[in-house]
Structure 1
Amino acid sequence: MMPTPPTTGLHRMALTAVLTLCATLNGVTLVWMLAKQPHINADFLGFWAYPRFSPLLEIYNPDAMMRFQQALYPGFKSYYPFTYPPDFLLATPWLRDLSYTTAKTVWTLAGLTAFTAAGLGLFKGRTVPVLALLASPAALLTLVLGQTSFFAGALLLGGLALLRERPVLAGIAFGLLTLKPQMGLLLPLLLLARCEWRTIAAAVLTAGALVMLSCALLPPELWRLWVQSLPQIQRDYFSGGANLNVMITPAANLRHLGASPALAIAVQTICGLGAAGAVVTTARRTEYGLAVAVLLTATLLAQPHAYAYDAVILPAALALGWRANCPAWLKVLGGIVYLAPLAMLSPLASWCLYAPPLALLLAGLTALALKAPRGANSPA
């Protein structure tokens, strides 16, 4: 057996230390939340309110939602607009029957369970990559805020885990991911490039079934109202009302620096096209694990609206790249991007730009993928 190179041993020690510290922080936070159930300004306030809102045709009206939530939560001075497509409401009616405390507990544990299962499926039961997923600062934000990232991440990672052996089940997962459509923005490119026709068919049928079911159970007019609400969401996004400091997209970073909306949109479009090109280029020219790593990283760079908690999927990309003879500089860059959400919540938030290192990471992973042997089938 060849001795382990010193640099490799050092990298493993650093990885172990980072994961241990992050896992401890996340574990303590989870126990504290479940024990104390603090009433903080968490995004879950919005998810708990949405299925209680009435009249339903006003759900995309920001003023109506603000009045409703401030009446529902005494002392609450902000509000959480409903920005999801109408079929998202099909997944939340059970929240009406539970108190806030019980609902938040069930929501958190269900999301963690689904996300863990998806990670174990993608990495074939290997525990270190799954620990990296659960210990990430992005996962910590998801825990604290009660966001949907664990559920969306579970559908995305779970579908990618199933794609080659259970293509129909993968398509069902991807179809359900349309409940948060921006997380699957580049998936069609990967599926088309790999000619995954059964998965594409299952995804289209699942998404169509969700739309038809929502039209049967909810006012169909909601779909028109949702589309009409998107420009207002964009205006709020660029005005800074969408917490630009914790957004990770190129457009958000540029607006945070004072760039004009026109420049932000132009750069976001260029980055999106570049990310799409990376996915298409690597989808069939490299082994599956690296193609997935490129897709996950590109997804975060390409989508126009993404927050730090959406980066829960990024550790999967880093773990897949780490096993592919990844150069030291790319590992260091991956570590910086992995830990970046912590800085975004610190006094350094105004100086923290997530998109530039993310773009460099995508470029590095793409180059790594194109150097890998073609036709390899290892998932990792």
Structure 2
Amino acid sequence: MPEKSKYEIGRETMKADSHWLNRERLIFYPRIFLLLLLAIGLKLFLRSKNTVDLSGQPFGYDFITFWGASHLALTGHAQDAYSIPLLFKAEQLAQPASKIAYPWYYPPSFHLVVLPLALLPYIAAYWTFILSTLGGYLLVLRRIIHGNIAMWCLAAFSGLWMNFFHGQNGFLTAAIAAAALLSVERRPVLAGVLIGLLAIKPHLAILFPVALLAIGAWRTLITAAVAAITFMAIGTVTLGTAVLKAFFASLGYARLFLENESLAWRKMPSVFAFLRLLEMPVTWAYVVHCIVAAVAVIAVWQVWRHCRNRNLRGAALMTATFLVSPYVFDYDLAWLAFPIAWLALDGLRTGWLRGEREVLVAVWLLPLLMSPIAGALKFQIGPLVLCSLLWMTYRRAAAAPMTGTTTDEGHADQIGTFA
């Protein structure tokens, strides 16, 4: 009698046992968490005065750096965005009551993206940026999932709300990365252009060359390199070479702030932050982080090299990105909506293994719970949850068929049939 595959075992387990994460709970729980997140937002609003809270943080507090950098560029001083005192003066033009200075470490390419924002008043610019990037984010997600239950789960996903509250670019980078992954097979040139655009945050694009080399996608890889260089060159020509020099100089300050906790480790789901919260010396924290990053890179290579399942390939790359870069934040976890969706579809198609649904729930809750837990216990759970998600993806990829591709996009309400 032939040995059963993991997928067959998973299917039998799913049929034999009633799982706690059933359709009724998937209808009920997201609504509860959405109410909780809306209550948090209302509390922040009520505690603010003229859109600045009691601690001096403005509404959409990270977005104020985008507006300030835009103002400096529009007035012919783009390079001043990399000087915290000069940028703070520009930020106070947007919100005079703001008391906290926020730094700017972005390359000229992203400076080009935010360039028009200061043409609008601060609040109008915030809503324009957030809603337009959210629209792109949802548009790409709709290529993967739809249906009422799936949309409720997405609406209550705390990674979405963390990016919303921060006023950050997580929607933009996630949409670009996921759209590139969806385009690699059928539209390799478009995929390359999108990967090149992701160089607005280079540390989030670092695994794409690994994946493309694994499948021999040279056309996409070359297009991505040309697009990234071109986009950077356009930004440099538009804003001046001083901006490029200031960007490279700012990277040293970013590293210093990362190492000494000027950047809050409790909000950073990286292995480095996990180890620094445990008071490991900087050098050893980097060493261990690099070891974990190397394992993540190997996992991505193996999945892309040996598995033809597009959903698992995308989930592996987007998850491993957070284990490779030490410089990631809770708002970047808006990316995780895509691995959750891809793995949920794969689980519904092939059956579930023990503990997989619990991992997806933990990932869904991670952006909301990570910072409070780290603040209370001095323990960063982010890397543990992300490693579990990557292992789940790798295990599924190892058991997946070696030939053929999957096109599980648009599975309506299947996300509501876990049990």
Q: TM-score, normalised by structure 2?
A: 0.82
C-alpha separation in 1, matches of 2:29 and 2:188: 35
Q: CA deviation at 1:297?
A: 0.9
**Residue 376 of structure 1, aligned match among 391, 404, 408:** 404
C-alpha change, 1:208 and 1:245, in structure 2 (3 Å) is: same
**Residue 83 of structure 1, aligned match among 82, 105, 112:** 105
**Residue 273 of structure 1, aligned match among 291, 294, 301:** 294
The alignment partner of 2:132 has SS state of: helix
The match for 1:43 is: 62
The match for 2:33 is: 22
The match for 2:383 is: 355
Q: Does residue 56 of structure 1 match 2:78?
A: yes
C-alpha change, 1:32 and 1:159, in structure 2 (3 Å) is: farther
C-alpha change, 1:379 and 1:23, in structure 2 (3 Å) is: farther
Q: Does residue 334 of structure 1 match 2:360?
A: yes
**Unaligned stretches of 5+ residues in structure 2:** 1-11, 409-419
Task: Tell me which moved more, 312-321 or 342-351.
Answer: 342-351
The match for 1:110 is: 132
C-alpha separation in 1, matches of 2:154 and 2:223: 27
C-alpha change, 1:300 and 1:326, in structure 2 (3 Å) is: farther
**Unaligned stretches of 5+ residues in structure 1:** none
Q: Which has the higher contact order (CA 8 A, sep 6+)?
A: 2
Q: Does residue 344 of structure 1 match 2:363?
A: no
Q: Does residue 161 of structure 1 match 2:187?
A: no
Asked whether the equivalents of residues 294 and 366 of structure 1 are also in contact (C-alpha less than 8 Å), the reply is: yes
The alignment partner of 1:89 has SS state of: helix
Q: CA deviation at 1:117?
A: 0.6
What does 1:98-247 align with in structure 2 at a 5 Å threshold?
A: 98-121=120-143, 123=144, 125=146, 129=150, 131-247=152-268
Task: Tell me which moved more, 98-107 or 34-43.
Answer: 34-43
The match for 1:316 is: 338
Quick one: percent identity of the two aligned structures? 24
Q: CA deviation at 1:66?
A: 3.3
**Residue 305 of structure 1, aligned match among 317, 327, 330:** 327
C-alpha change, 1:131 and 1:275, in structure 2 (3 Å) is: farther
Q: CA deviation at 1:131?
A: 4.9
Asked whether the equivalents of residues 120 and 130 of structure 1 are also in contact (C-alpha less than 8 Å), the reply is: no
**Residue 282 of structure 2, aligned match among 233, 258, 261:** 261
Q: CA deviation at 1:348?
A: 6.1
**Amino acid of the residue matched to residue 80 of structure 2?**
E
Asked whether the equivalents of residues 69 and 78 of structure 2 are also in contact (C-alpha less than 8 Å), the reply is: no
C-alpha separation in 1, matches of 2:137 and 2:184: 17
Task: Tell me which moved more, 52-61 or 150-159.
Answer: 52-61
C-alpha separation in 1, matches of 2:21 and 2:94: 52
C-alpha separation in 2, matches of 1:168 and 1:32: 46
C-alpha change, 1:259 and 1:33, in structure 2 (3 Å) is: closer
Q: CA deviation at 1:74?
A: 2.2
C-alpha separation in 2, matches of 1:279 and 1:299: 10
C-alpha separation in 2, matches of 1:359 and 1:225: 35
Task: Tell me which moved more, 29-38 or 329-338.
Answer: 29-38
**Residue 290 of structure 1, aligned match among 312, 323, 335:** 312
C-alpha separation in 1, matches of 2:36 and 2:305: 39
For the aligned residues, what is the CA RMSD? 2.7
C-alpha separation in 1, matches of 2:374 and 2:80: 38
Q: CA deviation at 1:126?
A: 5.8
C-alpha change, 1:345 and 1:114, in structure 2 (3 Å) is: same
Asked whether the equivalents of residues 343 and 349 of structure 1 are also in contact (C-alpha less than 8 Å), the reply is: no
C-alpha separation in 2, matches of 1:313 and 1:374: 27
